[in-house]
A and B are shown apart, each in its own frame.
Chain A
C-alpha cells in the first residue's frame, strides 16, 4: 500500500457557502431553513461531542440558531455577511455556548493534552466481520471518546466526524494550524490509548 490514499481522501473540502449568509440577511424565502438544514446535524454532533448530553446539545443548537438568525438579519450589514466564513462562524457560536454551559455545570478539571511519543500510532479497530462485532466496536469507540479530555473530544469530532479542514478548525477554536496539527495527533493518541484499555485496539 504505497501512498494510494492521498487524493483519495478529499473529504475535507468545505462546501461552498454560495451566498447563504447574504440570503438570510436579505430574508429571502427559505434561506434560513436552508441554513438550518445544512448545519443542524453537524452542530448538534459537535455540541454533543463537547457536552456528551443529547438534551444539552439540542438546547445549545437551538440557541445558536436563534443567535445566528439575529446576527445575520439584524446585527451584521450585507457586506459583513458576504465576507463571513459561515461554517466556522456557526461552529464558533455553538462552541462558545457549549463552553459556557460546561462552565456553569461542572467544575471538572481539564487534563491538558500531554506530549506524545514518536512511536507508531497503532491501529484502532480491527477485525470486525459481523454486524454484531461492528456494533460492539462502535459502542467501544463511543465510550473511549467520551472519557477523553474535552479538547480532544472536540478536535476528533470536528476533524474526523465533521471532516472539517485544519483552516476552518483553526478559525473555530481560535488557534494556529500548526499548533492544531500537534493537538489533533495528540488527541488521536489519547483515543488510541483509551481504546487499548478497553481491549479494542489490536497491536498488529
Chain B
C-alpha cells in the first residue's frame, strides 16, 4: 500500500473502522514508514484538541424545544372555542367541533402535541373580547412566521372594530405594496382569528372576500360589528372607493369612523386617490386611504 492510500485510512484505523485485511495492510505500512506513523499520531492528537472546541447550546434552547403547548376551551355563548397557548401567549384559536380535530390541526401545523391546561385569566379575557367582536388592544400572542408575516399580523390588529381595509392597503402599510397575494395568504393562514382580526380585510374590488370559516361567517362577523356590508358592495359596484367631506376637504375609506359622520350634501364619492387629490382633498390621517 502506498503512502497516500495509507494516509486516507489512518483515521478510520484509529477507530477500528477498517476491514480486517485493509487494517492489516495499513499496519504493515506503518511499521515501515515513519512519516505515516507520525501522521497517525498527529491525527490522534488533533482529534483530542478538536473535541475540546465543541460548543454547547444556550440553556434556554432545551426549554423551548421541549416546551409543551397547552390548550383550554373557552365557552362563547354555548359554543366551544379551542385555544392553544404557551407561556408567551396565544398560539391558536379555533371554533372547531371537537378536541380531537383541534389537536390534530395543531399537530399538523406546528409538529407539537397539546396537553390540557388552564388558560391564564388575561388571555381568557382577550379571547372572550375578540370572539365578541370587541377590539383587543395589544393581544398577547406567541406566533411563528417570517418577519413580513409578523408585520402584517401587527397591522391587522390595528384595524378598528367596525371598519375594513383592503389587502392592497395592508401590503402597502407593510412596506411591500406588490405583496397583495402574500397578504391574502397570511390572512388565510392566521391561526388566531378574532384576536388578529383578519376578517376586517376585504378585496379592493368589492365583496367580503375569502375567510377560513367561509365568506358567510366573515360577512356575519362584519355586520355584527356594524360594517354596512351591503352598502359597501353597492359602492364597490359603482367603483367608489373613498368618501370625502366638503367641509374638511379630507377623504377616507368608507368605513372610517370619520367618514361615517359625513352627512348629506357634504358627502362626496371618489373612484380613486387621484380624483380626490385633484379636487383638492387630503387623505385622512386616521384611516390613511392614500396607501390603498
B118 at the interface (CB under 8 A from A): no
Pairwise interchain contact A160-B61, C-beta atoms closer than 8 A: no
B291 CB within 8 Å of chain A: no
For B7, give its contact among A48, A65, A121 (CB under 8 Å). A121
Contact between chains at B53 and A142 (CB < 8 Å): yes
Query: Which of A8-16, A84-92, A94-102 is the interface stretch?
Result: A8-16
Q: Does B9 contact A (CB under 8 A)?
A: yes
* Chain A proximity of B106: nearest CB distance (Å): 11
Q: Which residue of A lies closest to B39 (CB)?
A: A121
Neighbouring B residues of A182 by C-beta, 8 Å: 8
Within 8 Å by CB of B50, from A3, A123, A156, lies: A156
Contact B110 A120 (CB under 8 A): no
Chain B interface mostly helix, strand, loop or mixed?
helix
Contact A137:B49 (CB < 8 A) given known A33-B66, A121-B43: yes
A188–B8 contact, CB under 8 A? no
A69 interfacial by beta-carbon distance below 8 Å? yes
Min Cβ gap A192→B in Å is: 8
* Closest chain B residue, CB of each to CB of A58: B61
A7 part of interface (Cβ distance < 8 Å) = yes
Cβ distance B29 to chain A, nearest Cβ, rounded Å: 12
| Cβ contact within 8 Å between A119 and B35 | yes
The answer to whether A48 and B13 touch (CB under 8 A), given A122-B42, A123-B42, is: no
Cβ proximity bits A160-172 to B, threshold 8 Å, 1 near / 0 not = 1111011100000
| B-binding residues in A (CB < 8 A) | 1, 3, 5-7, 9-12, 27, 32-33, 36-37, 40-41, 44-45, 48, 54, 57-58, 61-62, 65-67, 69-70, 73-74, 116, 118-125, 137-138, 141-142, 145, 156-157, 159-163, 165-167, 181-182, 184-185, 188, 191-192
**10 A-B pairs with the lowest CB-CB distances in the bound complex, closest first:** A70-B111, A44-B57, A160-B50, A12-B15, A121-B39, A161-B54, A120-B35, A66-B111, A181-B8, A121-B42
